[in-house]
């Protein structure tokens, strides 16, 4: 909080990218080729827009969960310098311990742990790819940034319902919508309070596209023309020529 307070006290412009609890990835009933297990575990989950919350329409929920668990269980964890490795270690012991505490909280609060949730191997800060199902919006793992390879899967019925639930968060950095119904995709994208919304793709960040968050996820934008604004000061010059009439 000191980082947020002092710039305003000193009257300094700031560009802050803070917490990035993913808004959600929303999978519609007519789209079945997206498997977010891979997306979540990129960089061992230590990425600001990691897809940690996944809302799945009830008609495909069971199949989606099954396929996600299969993908997560098959994930190759190990030495990041090995070409076959898909997931490396966490950045530190502190982060390793923090992630495992969140897993414990998820279990205690009643989420269904389907795979992972413990240390991988007997040395290093490796954590097994972890998938929770039947997560509710009030659980700690649903509301706080874990910054690890932990995915929470939720069930929803209607578009309006999932929009309201997705927006019920202090964060708003990124979101994803996976569906073959582009009308639904546009409605959700326009309604989600997130700085970036990906439709049928994820994590694409063109250099000219503004990147930043809503709400507690940050202030200002990086990339493109918008990324330059915080480094500029605007000046207005008004000149009256001798033959001009001033209002």
The tens digit of pLDDT for each residue in 46-66 reads 888 787 889 999 988 999 999
Query: By percentage, how much of the chain surpasses pLDDT 70?
Result: 81
Region label for 241, one of left (φ > 0), alpha (ψ between -120 and 50) or beta (otherwise): beta
- Asked if 105 contacts 117 with a C-beta cutoff of 8 angstroms, the reply is no
pLDDT tens per residue, range 89-125:
999 999 999 999 999 999 999 999 999 999 999 999 9
Q: Is the pLDDT of residue 219 over 80?
A: no
Q: Which CATH architecture has domain 18-231?
A: 3-Layer(aba) Sandwich (3.40)
Instruction: Domain ranges for the chain, please list them.
Output: 18-231
Of 246 and 229, the structure prediction assigns the larger pLDDT to: 229
φ, ψ of residue 147 to 5 degrees: the values are: 60, 50
Q: Which of 221, 56, 72, 74 is nearest to 148 (CA)?
A: 72
Q: What pLDDT does residue 9 have?
A: 61
- Helix axes 182-191 and 159-167, enclosed angle (nearest 10): 30
- pTM, two decimals, is 0.81
């Amino acid at each position: 909080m000191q980082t947020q307070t002092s710039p305003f006290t000193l009257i300094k412009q700031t560009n802050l990218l803070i917490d990035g609890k993913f808004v959600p990835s929303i999978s519609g009933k007519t789209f079945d080729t997206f498997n977010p297990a891979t997306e979540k575990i990129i960089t061992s989950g230590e990425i600001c827009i990691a897809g940690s919350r996944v809302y799945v329409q009830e008609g495909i929920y069971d199949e989606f969960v099954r396929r996600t668990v299969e993908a997560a269980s098959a994930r190759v964890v190990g030495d990041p310098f090995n070409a076959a490795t898909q997931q490396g270690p966490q950045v530190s012991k502190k982060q390793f311990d923090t992630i495992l505490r969140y897993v414990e909280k998820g279990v205690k609060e009643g989420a269904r742990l389907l795979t992972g949730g413990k240390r991988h191997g007997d040395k290093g800060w490796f954590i097994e790819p972890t998938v929770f199902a039947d997560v509710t919006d009030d659980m700690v793992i649903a509301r706080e940034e874990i910054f690890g390879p932990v995915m929470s899967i939720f069930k929803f019925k209607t578009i309006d319902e999932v929009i309201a639930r997705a927006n019920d968060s202090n964060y708003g950095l990124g979101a994803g919508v996976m569906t073959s119904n582009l009308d639904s995709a546009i409605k959700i994208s326009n309604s989600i309070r997130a700085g970036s919304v990906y439709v049928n793709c994820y994590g694409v960040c063109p250099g000219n596209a503004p990147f930043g968050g809503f709400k507690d996820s940050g202030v200002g934008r990086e990339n493109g023309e918008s990324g330059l604004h915080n480094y500029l000061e605007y000046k207005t010059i008004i000149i009256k020529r001798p033959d001009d009439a001033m209002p």
